[in-house]
């Protein structure tokens, strides 16, 4: 259920209400009984709850990675200098 922000047009009192999306919006200020307007809110970040999100989207490979020391490195060929007689 979302939280809605309201502000009174008469006294300027602002308040939040935790309402269902199907509830009728508040029309009167709880302080002065003046007319209120619902403010547009940016909302909150998206929150993923429950199991499975990490397991399905960021699952690691079961194959072991090869380490650099295990890979065979080719050594450069040695050059032999021949002397001229």
Q: How far is Cα 29 from Cα 6, in angstroms, rounded to an integer?
A: 9
Q: Which residues contact 36 (CB under 8 A, 6 or more apart)?
A: 6, 7, 8, 9, 26, 27, 28, 29
Q: Quick one: which H or E segment has residue 18?
A: strand 14-18
Instruction: Dump pLDDT digits (tens) for 17-58.
Output: 888 889 999 999 999 999 999 988 766 666 666 666 555 555
11 in any annotated domain: yes
**75 occurs within a structural domain:** no
The answer to whether residue 9 is domain-embedded is yes
Instruction: Give this prediction's pTM.
Output: 0.48
Distance of CA 46 to the CA centre of its chain: 6
- Is it the case that residue 11 has pLDDT exceeding 80? yes
Residue 16 lies in a domain: yes
Whether 62 is in a domain gets the answer no
First vs last C-alpha separation in the chain? 96
């Amino acid at each position: 259920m979302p939280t809605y922000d309201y502000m009174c047009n008469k006294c300027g009192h602002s308040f939040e209400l935790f309402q269902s999306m199907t509830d009728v919006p508040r029309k009167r200020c709880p302080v002065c009984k003046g007319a209120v307007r619902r403010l547009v809110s940016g909302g909150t970040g998206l929150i993923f709850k429950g199991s499975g999100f990490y397991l399905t989207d960021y699952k690691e490979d079961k194959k072991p990675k090869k380490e650099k020391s295990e890979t065979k490195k080719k050594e450069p060929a040695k050059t032999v200098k021949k002397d001229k007689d």
